[in-house]
């Protein structure tokens, strides 16, 4: 029984030590290099909960463009054995403002869409450097406008400068 109590105490102490060390930076600003390319500001609201604000832009050669403004709530969990590495999940929403050079092709489409997103990713704060990297998958369900429906091919590699 004594060994069980000691093992339980060690397990609880390890859990709390891991939880305290889960967040390795407070805020970060940088780029999300993905679909769309975006400016990103991420800040932790607590040890595990983070808010990310996103401002993105995308265009192509056939004449359409969009600006995306969004926000996400993410829950971070440490990966034991790798200091600074966490996995996260969450949800968010974005507003998309579309522009088309060829109004004939898109004449029946709205210039505004709303997106509901899920987030699943990895977040890494490089030890002894003010750099944060993250890689995520962001499946999105679009409501209204061009591209209504589900998009499974969204996500990014983010590179951010961490702030104290």
Tell me how far apart the alpha carbons of residues 157 and 91 are, in angstroms, rounded to a whole number.
17
Which residues, 6 or more positions from 96, have their beta carbon under 8 angstroms from its beta carbon? 66, 67, 68, 112, 113, 114, 115, 142, 145
Closest CA to 89 of 134, 150, 32: 134
CATH number of 2-163: 2.40.160.20
pLDDT at residue number 99: 80
pLDDT at residue number 47: 93
Spell 45-64 as b/e; 16+ CB within 10 A means b: eeebebbbbbebeeeeeeeb
pLDDT at residue 53 tops 60? yes
What are the distances in angstroms from CA 72 to CA 40, 103, 116, 138? 11, 32, 10, 10
Q: What is the DSSP string of 52-93?
A: EEEEEEEE-TTSEEEEEEEEEEEEEEE-TTSTTEEEEEEEEE
How is the chain split into domains, by residue range? 2-163
Tell me how far apart the alpha carbons of residues 25 and 105 are, in angstroms, rounded to a whole number.
47
pLDDT at residue number 23: 61
For 107-145, write each residue's pLDDT tens digit: 555 688 899 999 999 999 999 999 999 999 999 999 987
pLDDT at residue 12 tops 90? no
Q: Which residue has the higher pLDDT, 5 or 72?
A: 72
């Amino acid at each position: 029984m004594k060994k069980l109590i000691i093992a339980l105490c060690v397990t609880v102490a390890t859990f709390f030590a891991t939880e305290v060390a889960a967040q390795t930076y407070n805020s970060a600003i940088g780029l999300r290099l993905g679909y769309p390319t975006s400016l990103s500001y991420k800040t932790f609201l607590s040890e595990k909960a983070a808010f990310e604000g996103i401002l993105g832009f995308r265009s192509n050669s056939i004449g359409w463009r969009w600006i995306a403004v969004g926000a996400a709530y993410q829950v971070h969990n440490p990966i034991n054995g790798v200091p600074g590495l966490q996995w996260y999940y969450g949800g968010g929403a974005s507003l998309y403002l579309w522009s088309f050079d060829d109004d004939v092709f898109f004449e029946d489409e709205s210039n505004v869409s709303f997106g509901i997103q899920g987030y699943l990713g990895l977040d890494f704060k490089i030890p002894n450097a003010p750099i944060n990297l993250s890689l995520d998958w962001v499946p999105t369900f679009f409501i209204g406008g061009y591209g209504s429906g589900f998009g499974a091919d969204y996500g990014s590699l983010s590179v951010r400068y961490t702030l104290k």
